[in-house]
Structures are given as structure tokens and as C-alpha cells.
């Protein structure tokens, strides 16, 4: 017997991770409904899906969402995710993360659907434990400029677990660490896209601070596989589970790598460090390895090559 097709809602489906997820799920033969308000997402990311199984609903998740058909699964990826964008729109960001999550949890209850929340390594703030395990409770400044995002995501995790305890809602929570690759908007403002675009254009590479802060970068294909495995994990595994690549680099390492790979004449310039910028970040992924049999396969060198090729084609 063939498997039954699922109907899956991907909220934030026009964004970087969301559009890659829509494509992956369509390739698996599922019916996909993309919900997006196109604030940071882009129609270009999803316009080429030539499939009768793909639909788009333009909607802001801070408003309740009505869908006529039955829904099996909801991925919540809707949120402004890039620091320069959420610093400009802090109240919208907080509303999306909290009220948006509440609206989607209510929809999940109504439809008896399973719902996955894309939380973030930012719930650990500027971590005092390194690498970060899921049991670490974090070091977040609740009144800082990044709090709209960090505290919004923390409150969303609370809502997810309270819905599970109160209504037995089928929840899954993943904490995503820095992810990069094709479909991230060229003007998104995050470090990998910034450095590649600057290098390709021969512009200065803007390192914030002295570049000694670290991040661990996960290529998008690995992340999508992790999200899918989590959604399809055993029923009583709710998370939170870290998803990310544990290979850690300084931001200066990244700048030098990108310059070398693009044969660029760009020079590194040092700019002020944004406030509350975490000094280090690296996931402990033992739980994902054990529960999801998942670990990233694509090294930074390979992922950067693919991403550089994507932006080069875009600039042409
Ligand atoms: P993105 O900005 O490319 O995608 C987010 C999408 O959500 C966009 O299409 C945007 O238009 C949409 N959106 C925003 N607010 C909305 C609202 N109120 N209603 C409907 N749609 C809305 O960012 P991304 O990198 O693809 O991030 C996707 C998710 O993954 C986010 O929830 C983010 O917090 C999380 N995440 C991403 C990373 C990363 O490194 N990329 C790391 C940690 C967590
Ligand atoms: N960063 C940088 N130059 C840029 C953009 C970002 O040096 O042009 C730094 C930023 O200060 C941070 C790191 O790179 O320390 C990762 O930034 P990003 O916005 O990609 O993600 P996040 O801070 O959310 O991890």
C-alpha cells in the first residue's frame, strides 16, 4: 500500500528555511500550503514550484488563521530572524513570536495537527555554558535590544509546552543554530550572506567587533533533514532539541575563508559590535544524534562553495 499524502502548512514558507522546506516536502509528494506575510520572505523563493500540490496563503500569523481543509502538520518558521531586521521592528517581532505562535497552536488544536516550533540558539543568550546543551537555561538580557527575538522565542517554547500539558497538543520544538545557504535574501544582513555579497562585489567586509566571537554554521540541506526527522520522530519525543553544526569558527576565520574562496580584493574593516551580541555559540548535538540519528554532513567549506555559487548567479 502506498503512503497517504499529508497536508502540511509551512508558516514562513517564503523565507530562507521555509522555502527550502516547501521544496523538500513537495519532492516527498506531500501537499504543501505556504503561509507568509512576505515581510522578509520573497515570492522569488517559491514562484518556480510548478506543482498542483502547492498553495500560498498571504497572511500575518499575528491574526487568527482559518483554513477550510484538514491539516496534518504545521511547521512554524514565521519570524523575522535577522538581527538588523528585528532591531528595526522589535514589537512586530515579539508579537509574531508570541501571538503568532498562540494562533498556530490554536489552529493545531482545532485540526488535531502536529506542530513544530522553530526555536533558536538565541534562547541561550550570551551563553555561560559551552557548548550549549538543551538543559542549559541561558543567559538572556530581558530588556536588551535582542530580547524581542530571544524572549519571544522563549515565551513561544513556554506556550508550546503549556498547550501540550493542557490540551495534549502534539508538539515538537527544535532550537536552530546559525544556518546558511541558497534563498537567504541578499540583503538579509546575516553574516554569511553579507560577507559573500561584499566579497563578490569587491566591497569592504564588515567584521563587527574584533571578529573573535564564534558561531557554528549549518548548511541548509542538513537543517531541512533535521527538521523533517524531528517532525517524524517518536510521538513522545517533544524536544527541545538542538539542530546545528558543531564545528565552531571565529567571525574573522569566516571573513578570511570567504575572501580566499571568492579570490576577492575586498578588505576587512572592523565596525562596532552590536549590543548583546553573543561571544560564542556551538551546539551540543548528542540528543539529535541519539533521538533523530541526525548529524550535519556538509562541512563549511563545501557549503560556502555552494552558497557562493548561488549568490554569484543571482548577481549575474
Ligand atoms: P527568513 O526571514 O528568511 O524567513 C522568515 C519568514 O517568516 C519570512 O518569509 C517572513 O516573511 C515570514 N514572516 C515573518 N513574520 C511573519 C508573520 N507575522 N506572519 C507570517 N509570516 C511572517 O528567516 P529564516 O532564516 O528562514 O528563519 C526561519 C525561522 O527559523 C525563524 O523562525 C527563525 O527564528 C528560525 N531560525 C533561523 C536561524 C537561521 O540561522 N537561519 C537560526 C535560528 C532560528
Ligand atoms: N556579523 C559581522 N558582520 C556582519 C554581520 C554579522 O561581523 O556583516 C557578526 C555578528 O556581530 C555576529 C555574527 O557575525 O557576531 C553572526 O551574526 P548573524 O547576524 O549572522 O547571526 P546571530 O548574531 O544571530 O548569530
Q: Give pLDDT tens digits for 130-163.
A: 999 999 999 999 999 999 999 999 999 999 999 9
Question: Among this protein's residues, is 149 annotated catalytic?
Answer: yes
- The average pLDDT across 199-211 equals 97
- For the chain, give the percent of residues with pLDDT over 90: 98
**Backbone dihedral region of 234: left (phi > 0), alpha (psi from -120 to 50 degrees) or beta?**
beta
Q: Is the CB of 42 under 6 A from ligand 1?
A: no
pLDDT at position 50, please?
83
**Spatial distance between the Cα atoms of 118 and 134, rounded to a whole number of angstroms:** 14
Evaluate if residue 3 carries a pLDDT over 90: no
Q: Ligand 2 centre from 25 Cα, in Å?
A: 30
Which residue out of 149, 180, 228, 311 is catalytically annotated?
Answer: 149
Q: Is the CB of 194 under 6 A from ligand 2?
A: yes
pLDDT at position 2, please?
60
Compute the Cα dihedral for 99, 104, 110, 114 and give only its sign. negative
Evaluate if residue 195 carries a pLDDT over 70: yes
Relative to the alpha carbon of 218, which ligand is closest?
A: 1
Per the prediction, the chain carries an average pLDDT of 97
pTM: 0.98
For residue 10, what are the contacts with CB-CB under 8 A and spacing of at least 6?
18, 21, 22, 25, 32, 33, 34, 35, 75, 77
Q: What's the number of CA atoms in the CB half-sphere (13 Å) around residue 137?
A: 1
Q: Give the residue carrying C-alpha cell 557548548.
A: 131
Q: How far is CA 196 from the centre of its chain?
A: 19
Atom of ligand 2 nearest to the CA of 83: 19
Evaluate if residue 1 carries a pLDDT over 80: no
Q: Ligand 2 centre from 90 Cα, in Å?
A: 18
Q: Ligand 2 centre from 274 Cα, in Å?
A: 9
- The average pLDDT across 77-96 equals 96
Amino acid at each position: 500500500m502506498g503512503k497517504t499524502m499529508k497536508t502540511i502548512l509551512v508558516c514562513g514558507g517564503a523565507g530562507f528555511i521555509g522555502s527550502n522546506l516547501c521544496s523538500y516536502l513537495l519532492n516527498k509528494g506531500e501537499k504543501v500550503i505556504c503561509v507568509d506575510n512576505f515581510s522578509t520572505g520573497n515570492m522569488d523563493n517559491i514562484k518556480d514550484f510548478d506543482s498542483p500540490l502547492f498553495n500560498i496563503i498571504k497572511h500575518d500569523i499575528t491574526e487568527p488563521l482559518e483554513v477550510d481543509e484538514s491539516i496534518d502538520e504545521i511547521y512554524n518558521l514565521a519570524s523575522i530572524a535577522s538581527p538588523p531586521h528585528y532591531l528595526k521592528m522589535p514589537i512586530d517581532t515579539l508579537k509574531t513570536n508570541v501571538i503568532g505562535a498562540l494562533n498556530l497552536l490554536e489552529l493545531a488544536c482545532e485540526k488535531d495537527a502536529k506542530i513544530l516550533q522553530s526555536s533558536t540558539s538565541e534562547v541561550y543568550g550570551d551563553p555561560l555554558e559551552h557548548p550549549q546543551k538543551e538543559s542549559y537555561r541561558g543567559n538572556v538580557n530581558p530588556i536588551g535590544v535582542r530580547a524581542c527575538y530571544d524572549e519571544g522565542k522563549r515565551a513561544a517554547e513556554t506556550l508550546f509546552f503549556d498547550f501540550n500539558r493542557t490540551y495534549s497538543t502534539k508538539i515538537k520544538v527544535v532550537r536552530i543554530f546559525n544556518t546558511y545557504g541558497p534563498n537567504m535574501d541578499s540583503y538579509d544582513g546575516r553574516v554569511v550572506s553579507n560577507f559573500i555579497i561584499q566579497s563578490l562585489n569587491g566591497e569592504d567586509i564588515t567584521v563587527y567587533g574584533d571578529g573573535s566571537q564564534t558561531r557554528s554554521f549549518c548548511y541548509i540541506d542538513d537543517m531541512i533533514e533535521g527538521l523533517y526527522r524531528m517532525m517524524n520522530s517518536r510521538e513522545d519525543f517533544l524536544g527541545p532539541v538542538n539542530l546545528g553544526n558543531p564545528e565552531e569558527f571565529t567571525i574573522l576565520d569566516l571573513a578570511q575563508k570567504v575572501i580566499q574562496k571568492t579570490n576577492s580584493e575586498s578588505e576587512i574593516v572592523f565596525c562596532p559590535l552590536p549590543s548583546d551580541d553573543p561571544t560564542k555559540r556551538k551546539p551540543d548535538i548528542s540528543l539529535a544524534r541519539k533521538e533523530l540519528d541526525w548529524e550535519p554532513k556538509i562541512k563549511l567549506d563545501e557549503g560556502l562553495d555552494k552558497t557562493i555559487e548561488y549568490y554569484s548567479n543571482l548577481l549575474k
